[in-house]
Structures are given as C-alpha cells and as structure tokens.
Structure 1
Amino acid sequence: MDVVTFGETMVLFTPESTGLMRYANNYTRKFGGAESNYAIGLTRLGHKAGWISRVGDDELGKAMLSFIRGEAVDVSRVKIDNTAPTGLYFKELRSSTEIRVEYYRKGSAASQMNKADLDEDYISKAMYLHISGITPALSESCYEMVTKAIKIAKQHAVKVIFDPNLRKKLWSEEKARKVLLEIASYADIILPGYDEGVFMYGEKDPNKLGELFLQQGPSIVVLKVGAKGAYYFTKEESKLVPGFTVNNVVDPVGAGDGFAAGFTSGLLKGFSIEKAVQRGNAVGALVTMVSGDVEGLPEEHEVERFINSPTEDVSR
C-alpha cells in the first residue's frame, strides 16, 4: 500500500438549479469526503490507496462503499455501522461564483469511529499515512483515533502527511487551533492553505508562515495560495511554484484534496519537491473544471498533458 487515510465521506446532494436551496426541487446525488477524495485522486494516478472509515447500514452507505471500491480504493477496513446513519451534505449554488455547503453529519456512523477501528499491521505497510484536520473535529473518539494512528505511524517509520482542512462549523476556533497545531507537531509533511496558516498562527506573511510551520518539526511544508500556486519550504530552501490559469472555474470544492493527491503522487514517483508541487497545482486546477468532489480528478495522461500544454483543451 502506498498511502492509508481515514475519515468521513458523506452523500452529496447538489441542486440542479442555482439560487437559494429552498427553491431547489431536483438534486443529483454524488459522494464526497476529503480523505476518500484524496485516496481516489491517488488511485486515478496509478497508486495504491486504502481508506478506513465507517458507513451506515443503509442504502446510501452501501452505494457509497460500492462507489469508492469501484474507484480502486481498498475499503477492506471500512466498517458497516447498524446503529448510526451515513452522513449527508448539500451544496447550495447561490450563484455562478458563490457555493455554500451545509452538513448533516452529527451522530453519523463515521463520527462513531474510534482507535479500535485502526489496523496497526495495515498502516505499518504503507509509505505514508494521510491525516485530515476534519477527522479529530468529528468527536472525541475520532480525535483519539487520530492520535493513535500517528503513534502507529511513528512506531513503524511511516511518514505522516497532514492537511489541516479547517472546518469551523465543526468545533470552536480555540479547540480547532489547539488540535491542529498539536497534529502539525507530529507531521513529517504539512499541506496548509494560506487562510488555515493565518488561522493557526495569526501571521499573514507567507514566508513567515512557512518558517513557523517548519518550527513544528516537519521536513516539508507546502503552503497553498490559491490560483497563485503554492510555496514549499524545507530547511534548505523555499520557493513559490506558480499555479495554472483556469478561465472557467466550475466547482472549487475538492481542489485542495486534488492538490494533496497530486503532490503525494509526485513524492511517490520520486520527483523533486518543486515538481511534486507543480503536479499538485495541476491536479487542483483540473478538479475545479468539473462539478463534484471527485469527478474532476484526473488520470495520469491528463495531468501530463495539462502540465505540458496548460492552454490546450484537456477534453473536459
């Protein structure tokens, strides 16, 4: 296994019309969750990824599990919970440029996850353990699961990739800041967005943010700055790797997960950090061109073509 990740995936309902959701009568059903988005992004690029979670013993949970399995993600460690439902969320397309998200995940099957759901042998065989800042926000047992997973990874020399993925709706800002900084102190690689860095440290200068994250102890920090691209920081060097121009952003949700998958793919392929960040920028850009969390995640040939000829039609 190249990468193991864990967290909640929900059923996504998107209205077929724009405007306030109260006026929407028809919806399309899809699936989305930061960790499974990331895992699917990796399998599309030819890597082996495993996802640990819980889903409800309901038709939506079964459909979700079938979908993620169909994307070549290993779901052998996912548990079916007959005491709690599969979580839901809705995208509200208020306008062509404003998208809001509403979650219905309290008491969901995934929020019941705990450290007993972890398989030490399974994690120990991976090259990377990917952790999202969403999971510890779901419940105290999920937080304990995160800390246990980190301990397992450290014991077996599995590198920890941490994407803060701040969700203010899930917990207080004080607790979020405390826990995200705690997890960052154990990570080998950190992939924060600029706004997340400002939230965690109260610093607005990108270079100073990079230094602050490095002081936590990771070997690599990648600070995403939207369309501008992403900075990377190591003890030896730092650089801004330019992003790719997208003339028509259809759906920005999931772009960060795509970036993480593209960047990790670059590391797995042995690329330089700069080239891995460029790959992350490309995948993130491609994701924004398609509606849905995972529908825009590209395959290997699409990424290579886009990087080499970003202004050409990429058959989307």
Structure 2
Amino acid sequence: MSVTGRAGAADVLTLGESMVALRGSGPLKLGGSMDVSIAGAESNVAIGLARLGHTARWAGAVGEDEAGELVLRTLRAEGVDVSGATRDPDAPTGLILFEPRLPEVTRVHYYRAGSAGSRLTAAAVESAFAATPDAPRVLHLTGITPALGPSALAACRRALELAREHGTTVCLDVNFRSRLWTEAESAAVMRSWIPYVDVLIASDDELPLCVPETTAPGGTAAALAKGLLAQGVREVVVKLGADGATAYGTDGELHAPARPVRAVDAVGAGDAFVAGYLSALLDGEDVAGRLDRAVTTGAFAVASHGDWEGAPTRSELGLLGAGPGTVVR
C-alpha cells in the first residue's frame, strides 16, 4: 500500500485536543517545580511527522488564553501547520499534569472537561480540509477526540466524510481512554468508523472494540485482524509494546521486534510509532520498511522524557544502530 502524492497537498491532516502539560518532579501534594510543555496524541504525531520532513497540519481548538498560545507557538516552532486551528473565546485550553510517583509509575491528571478542544466543530474541520487547493494525502484520527464530547465527535465524523469524498487515506489509532468513555461507548463509535478506515493501528486489547460483538469475544489478534480486513481495512497494525508490532494485510502478516533501548518514559511511544509508520507509508516503503521505522521512532520516544520531545529527525533514525558510548561528531 502506498499513498500517491498530489502537488500542494499536505501530507497529513490530524485533529484533536492539545493541552498544556505540567510535569512535576515528585508527588504533587508536596509541591515543587514543574516543567511546562504541551501534550496531545494527535499533535504528538504531527510533530513526529514534521521532524521526519513531512508536511503535517493540525486542526484543533484552543482557548483565547496564554495556554492556547503556548500550544500554537510550540506546534509552529516544530514545523506543524496550524492554519486549521481555531481559538474559542468561551472555553479554556485543557491541562494535563504528570506526577512521577515511582520509578516506573507516573500518574496523570486531566483538567479538560468543557475545554476548547472538546468543542471542536465540523465547520473547523471543513476549513482545515480547504486550507489548500488539494486535500491531505492522509487523515489521522484517534479514538480520543470523539470521546471528548458531541461536538468533537461530529467533527471527526465530518472529517471521515470529507476524506472519502477526496480520496484521502484514513489512519485510525484506537487509543482507548477509560477516563473518557466506556468500552461499549468506544466500540459503538469505532465499529461505525471501520468502513472509512484504510489503516487501523491498535494494541491487541483494543482490537475487540473495532469488530462486531459476535466476533470479538475470545478472538486472537490474527483472527480479529482478518475480520477487519474482510470489512475493507487495508492494513491492521497491532502494537505490542516491548514485543514490537505485527502488521496484517491481504498478503499475510509480518512481525517486527521492538528495538532494544534503555526505557526512561513510555509516554508518547504509541504516537511516535504512528508517526514513523505513516512517514514510511508516505515514502512508499513496504510493510517491512513501515514497521521498521515505526519501532525505531517508538524506541526514541521510550528512551526520552516527554510526550514528543524525543521524536527523531530523519537524519537521526540511524542513531539506534550505533554502539554504546558512541560519540556523534
């Protein structure tokens, strides 16, 4: 599978909520310093793609506040096109707090109810599609955005309709969040989206949310992927964490092991994986090449602190092949 380029078209359009991110040095109740950044699954992917040399457009809503300005300023600085973003004068930019509690445990606290991001509109999505004469080559959605509220859900549905009208490839990362909605609520939406989806990316425990209920119980990842392929999905990519990833397509399945790195922060690894996969897809790489780049960009994220800060540039992709103690001059 490859994505044909069109002159003037953005490589990828993605939409969702980006928030101000505060990372504490320890338990929040003890106070202390916090690092300020931004976070959001879709903007993480956009940054990852931009660093790899692709044109990525982010459509989202932020408040008319300094927090919203930080989101837009950071994305612009990372080379992401924010011409499709909107400012909501009646709702604030969302907030996320990261609280390191144990060496391997970080607690996350969200303050996003009623945020500008949850009020993203279908009209804003239409404007993002129309920002250039040609439609984007790829539309990337996650299962997070539709869970934010009715308006965001309607915006996602409109994006899928526009993608179909324009022949845009659709990539969906299921990204289930139990704090936002139930499995039943997620499944109802994910299953209704499947007819629009070309590339489905999910962890093995998220796959059942995407197939008919009569198929899901007890099904293996391979069986569930086969069912999704039968429904018209072209590729099903299953993220397996430290065990790598497996891609299923009409030509069979292919597994790629994870790249060994010293893990320091797993936050954002899935988004980095998606960015790598889409990057290679845009470059016309075969399945093996797409998986290789995806596990590589995922490894960079795991080996770095932050949601997106460790995303590699194209010239850095080969660094993981360097031996321990290597000094790059």
With the shorter chain as reference, the TM-score category is over 0.9
Return the alpha-carbon distance in structure 1 between the equivalents of residues 83 and 50 of structure 2. Answer: 15
Return the alpha-carbon distance in structure 2 between the equivalents of residues 242 and 97 of structure 1. Answer: 22
Match of 1:171 in 2: 181
Match of 2:282 in 1: 268
| Cα distance change, pair 314–251 in 1 and its aligned pair in 2 (3 A) | farther
RMSD in angstroms over aligned alpha carbons? 1.7
Cα displacement string for residues 153-208 of structure 1 (whole angstroms, at most 9, x for unaligned residues): 00110010000111110112211111122223320000111221255534462322
Match of 2:38 in 1: 31
Q: Is the 8 A contact 1:41 1:294 kept in 2?
A: yes
Structure 2 residue matching 1:192: 3-state secondary structure: strand
Match of 1:6 in 2: 15
Aligned counterpart for 1:55 among listed residues 45, 50, 62: 62
Structure 1 residue matching 2:202: 3-state secondary structure: coil
Q: Does 1:139 align with 2:149?
A: yes
| Cα distance change, pair 116–199 in 1 and its aligned pair in 2 (3 A) | closer
Aligned counterpart for 1:256 among listed residues 231, 254, 270: 270
Structure 2 residue matching 1:92: 3-state secondary structure: strand
Match of 1:97 in 2: 104
| 1:301 to partner: Cα distance | 1.5
Name the amino acid aligned to 2:279.
Answer: S
Kindly report which structure 2 residues correspond to 1:94-133, keeping only aligned pairs within 5 A, or say none: 94-118=101-125, 119=127, 120-122=129-131, 124-133=134-143
Alignment TM-score, normalising by the size of structure 2: 0.90
Aligned counterpart for 1:214 among listed residues 205, 211, 229: 229
Q: Is the 8 A contact 2:190 2:209 kept in 1?
A: no
Structure 1 residue matching 2:224: 3-state secondary structure: helix
Name the amino acid aligned to 2:199.
Answer: I
| Cα distance change, pair 218–165 in 1 and its aligned pair in 2 (3 A) | same
Match of 1:300 in 2: 314
How many residue pairs are counted as aligned between the two chains? Answer: 311
Match of 1:188 in 2: 198
Structure 2 residue matching 1:291: 3-state secondary structure: coil
| 1:53 to partner: Cα distance | 0.8
Return the alpha-carbon distance in structure 1 between the equivalents of residues 169 and 209 of structure 2. Answer: 25
**Which 5+ residue runs of structure 2 have no aligned equivalent?**
1-9, 211-215
Cα displacement string for residues 114-168 of structure 1 (whole angstroms, at most 9, x for unaligned residues): 1111124248521100011111001111111111110100011001000011111
Q: Does 1:233 align with 2:245?
A: no
| Cα distance change, pair 76–257 in 1 and its aligned pair in 2 (3 A) | same
| Cα distance change, pair 150–311 in 1 and its aligned pair in 2 (3 A) | farther
Match of 2:25 in 1: 16
| 1:212 to partner: Cα distance | 2.9
Return the alpha-carbon distance in structure 2 between the equivalents of residues 112 and 270 of structure 1. Answer: 36
| 1:24 to partner: Cα distance | 3.4
Name the amino acid aligned to 2:294.
Answer: G
| Cα distance change, pair 83–244 in 1 and its aligned pair in 2 (3 A) | same
| Cα distance change, pair 208–142 in 1 and its aligned pair in 2 (3 A) | same
Cα displacement string for residues 86-119 of structure 1 (whole angstroms, at most 9, x for unaligned residues): 0001112111111221110000011111111112
Return the alpha-carbon distance in structure 2 between the equivalents of residues 313 and 259 of structure 1. Answer: 24
| 1:310 to partner: Cα distance | 7.0
Q: Is the 8 A contact 1:6 1:52 kept in 2?
A: yes
Cα displacement string for residues 10-42 of structure 1 (whole angstroms, at most 9, x for unaligned residues): 01111112xx33223221111010000000000
Match of 2:6 in 1: none
Structure 2 residue matching 1:99: 3-state secondary structure: strand
Name the amino acid aligned to 1:108.
Answer: S
| 1:263 to partner: Cα distance | 0.5
Name the amino acid aligned to 1:90.
Answer: L
Structure 1 residue matching 2:20: 3-state secondary structure: strand
Return the alpha-carbon distance in structure 2 between the equivalents of residues 122 and 242 of structure 1. Answer: 39
| Cα distance change, pair 161–60 in 1 and its aligned pair in 2 (3 A) | same
- Identity percentage over the alignment? 36
Structure 1 residue matching 2:291: 3-state secondary structure: helix
Q: Which moved more, 1:144-153 or 1:189-198?
A: 189-198
